[in-house]
Amino acid sequence: MPTFFAGDYEQKEHTMPETQNIVQSDNPILNNPYEEPRFHYDAYTNGNLDYSKVLEGRRPYTSILSVTPSGQQSPEIFGASDFDDADPNAWFINHIREVVGKWRNSSYAGATRVTRELLNFWFNNPERAFRHRLFFCQREAVETAVYLNEIADRDPNIGRSILNELEERRNTVSVDSD
């Protein structure tokens, strides 16, 4: 499985081992920062990353991961990915990521001509200087904003249900903060 490391700005290709268990490396970076993540580390149930276990796919959003490592971990039978997240926002955030990803892969179907041209110029333009590329997280933020503001309202199923859920959550937060 090919992957890229962030330090390899010349985009040299490296190969990830086929196994999920790898020896801890001096370079813990698994993915190219300019592409959607294809691998992630598992996590212990306390939220710390388990650098000995690489999983395929993007890490689903979860609220249990800690920001800073807390030292050496002893192996656990189960990882954090084996349990559902109790955070009520986790499913919603992962759902939006999935919907925006499908929209991205459909070449921004339903976007206006100008919006599609801008998105393609920013993200799919081989002539754009490498140093001007946005990180994938920045790209996804822009795409999500465009999707929610231009596409979702015209999608009678998924898009509108996402907007309705956002409105409900906004009202809930507004009520809670009063």
Non-local (6+) Cβ contacts of 29 within 8 A are 5, 6, 7
CA distance 41 to 21: 10
pTM above 0.75, yes or no: no
Q: Check residue 22 and give its pLDDT.
A: 43
pLDDT exceeds 50 at position 151: yes
20, 39 Cβ separation under 8 angstroms = no
pLDDT at 7: 40
For the cut 90, the answer to whether the pLDDT of residue 105 exceeds it is yes
Tokens 């990882």 belong to which residue?
A: 79
pLDDT class for 132, splitting at 50, 70, 90? Answer: confident
Dihedral angle sign, alpha carbons of residues 60, 65, 69, 74? negative
pLDDT score recorded for residue 13: 38
